[in-house]
Structure 1
Amino acid sequence: MSDAIIYTYSVIDVPTAEFVGKTPYAVALVEREDGSRVLTRILNYTTVTKLEIGMRVLESGQDEKGNLLYSIP
């Protein structure tokens, strides 16, 4: 597992069918330690969470499709 920083993000309030009942949720483009960037969901985002560009996040595993997931430490 590795650290990354939030490069940009968006909070989703209107879900696609796959995420009905899971809003709001945050997706972010994060920059990993090796300089690569990946689009990810921020697992522990809540409406009281303050996301910021440059914020450190931690790799937290993968979803059922194999996509990397990150969390706020």
Structure 2
Amino acid sequence: NRGVFGLNLGHMWHEPEKVAEWVQAIMVGVNEGWIQPHVDKAFSFAQAGDAHAYMESRRNIGKVVLVP
């Protein structure tokens, strides 16, 4: 079975040890290939406004990332 999951750790920043543990576990999954984040589109830093507009338009399916 496959699933799609989202995670917002913003409410956990007051517990940095727990966040670090979870992030480490997630990175193991990414490195081993059983977690595969989907990048919908990459924008340069100079295109940050375009990236924001793209997300606001709700056209993305997956992550929108900024790259140097």
TM-score range, shorter chain: under 0.3
Choose between structure 1 and 2 for higher RCO, CA contacts under 8 A separated by at least 6 residues: 1
The structure in which a higher percent of residues are helix is 2
TM-score by length of 2: 0.23
Q: Normalising to structure 1: TM-score of the pair?
A: 0.22
